[in-house]
Amino acid sequence: MTQDQIVLFALFAMVFAALVSGRWRYDAVAFTALLAAVLLGVVPPASAFEGFGHPATLVVALVLVVSAGLTRAGVVLAITRRFVRPGRSLGGHIAMMGAIGGLLSAFMNNVAALAILMPVDVSTARQEGRSPARTLMPLSFATILGGMVTLIGTPPNIIVATIRQDTLGAPFAMFDYAPVGGIVALAGLVFVALAGWRLIPLREDADARPELAAFVAELVISEDSAIAGKTVGTLQDEADRAGATLVAVIRDGRARSGLPPETELCAGDVLRFEAGSEALDALRAGLGLDFADQRRKHYLEAERAGLVMVQAAVPAGARIVGKSAESVGLIWRQGTALMGISRQGRGIRGPLRKATVRAGDVLLLLAPQEDAARVIDWLGCLPMAAGNRALTRPDQTAAAVAIFAFAVFAASFGLVDLPVALGCVVAGYVGYRILPLADVYTQIEWPVIVLLGSMLPLGAALETSGGTELIASGLLRLSAGAPAWVAVGLLMIVTMTLSDVLNNTATAIVAAPVGIAMARALGASPDPFLMAVAVAASCAFLTPIGHKNNMLILGPGQYRFGDYWRMGLPLEVLVIATGLPAILFFWPL
């Protein structure tokens, strides 16, 4: 063992010990380790920060931005309304989301599949008042498992097929991975839905709590609204799904509450709800409802692409105290609409735009994104922390899906690299005004980027120093004289271990030639060894750095580095227990 190898193995051991302990922030630990590697001479100074420009790092950052764009365009809301039902058991929810994620990731990059479903899962968790940590990790694992079913589902499958073509003259075909990958994915999904989620440590998560402010708000049924012509009972069901309460229906200036469920709703009816800002936005976008102040709606049209919902507390002495939104000219002076008022359990009479604002109220405002802070200051109010929410744009759902689908298609079939494809999606979302430019930067989890950018040069140094080859040669010696199936199993175990430390792409590149060499030494077919590498390289469940999907959920789920192995270790054991027999059956030695 060389000096560089000793230093690198020692650094990795210290990094993992520090990360598992949870005493220090993961980004600080990783960056410190990178600096130590440079000072010790095992990482060249010129390569020290190449990880921050690595495609894996760029993919993680861009996926977070694309995910925000899909959410804002209403794609997440559409999926939620179609498949997610409130009140479903946690295991049932995980099974449903995992099945959708696995199916999507079989036919698109599994990172892209998670990008679509992660906001849906977080939104559902908030509606249910539980931590998203319970479901994000099972969802991530399900999308990783689903990617093993086809050639284009995950990079290791493509790499293994390419190495097979270079070495044996023919690649694996599109669905050659399906028999083994399908069995492993199905077994893994059953595990995470029935038992796996119970192994995840649960911590208090402020983001998962229901909103503290319940606003009284008004929305109007437009001519093309999905609820026009439907009944009050149908509307109440939709409100329950969104986490809102229908207070009254205002028709011809008269508020009517307690209407029979069979009462038909008409265009022009004003609906008064009591709900949080997220539920109100979901109702407005999902049912095609509009702003109640129709006479002044045109003041908002020019700013529609940049509107956000903000919450503002009204202190004593504020400009708007004792006045109404209409009397201060909020909409025509500031291009801002009053969406709702929260008033400590006291009722509000009459139209909201004419309601007298009192000190202590919390206002829900629909304001231009760039001017929101100025509008709140003009009113004399105080901004509420974490109270901003971008306005969902269901009219841009088709455009957002089309841009995203085209990019995924281009990346899946090798027309363009995935980071470039995702970059084009971000540029398209900004250019089409689906996502404001400022959100491109605010949606990125920078601590996650620092962790990944710091660890990638360390993994590359381990490979270039011969550390991975050292492990491979030891594996060949260990399996000498054993039955061929034992060698396949050992290859799976070592490949999984490497994939938890290195990027899964690098792991496949190193392990696939080792598998071919082992097969030749044993006089066996190389195909089961290559299948073992493909399956094991994708199954990186012990750490967040082993797979991009695990990195994506690290921030939103508020996980610690040591949380992953609790569900990941039994899942990896299950993968070997089901994958090895399946490989030997479908790809005989």
Name the average pLDDT for the chain. Answer: 81
* Rama region for 360: left / alpha / beta (φ>0; ψ in -120 to 50; rest): left
User: Which residues have CB under 8 Å from 312's CB, separation 6+?
Assistant: 362, 363, 365, 376, 379, 381, 382, 383, 384, 387
What is this structure's pTM? 0.65
Query: Quick one: DSSP state of residue 231?
Result: B
For residue 586, the model assigns a pLDDT of 94
d(CA 67, CA 385): 23
For residue 137, what pLDDT band results from cuts at 50, 70 and 90?
A: very high
For residue 212, what pLDDT band results from cuts at 50, 70 and 90?
A: very low
For the chain, which residues make up each domain, given as ranges? Answer: 214-292, 301-383, 461-586
Residue 383 near residue 373, CB atoms below 8 Å: yes
For residue 424, the model assigns a pLDDT of 92
Q: What is the pLDDT of residues 526-547, one digit of tens each?
A: 899 999 999 998 888 988 877 8
In CATH terms, are 214-292 and 301-383 the same topology? Answer: yes
Q: What is the pLDDT of residues 254-300, one digit of tens each?
A: 878 778 888 898 888 888 888 777 777 778 878 888 776 655 555 55
What is the CATH class of 214-292?
alpha beta
In the block, tokens 């899942």 appear at: 571
DSSP string over 16-75: HHHHHHTSS-HHHHHHHHHHHHHHTTSS-GGGTTGGGGSHHHHHHHHHHHHHHHHHHTTH
Q: What is the pLDDT of residues 455-489, one digit of tens each?
A: 778 877 877 888 766 766 777 778 777 778 888 99
For residue 113, pLDDT over 70 is answered with: yes
What is the CATH class of 301-383?
alpha beta
For residue 181, the model assigns a pLDDT of 92
For residue 102, pLDDT over 80 is answered with: yes
For residue 583, what pLDDT band results from cuts at 50, 70 and 90?
A: very high
297 vs 252 pLDDT, higher one: 252
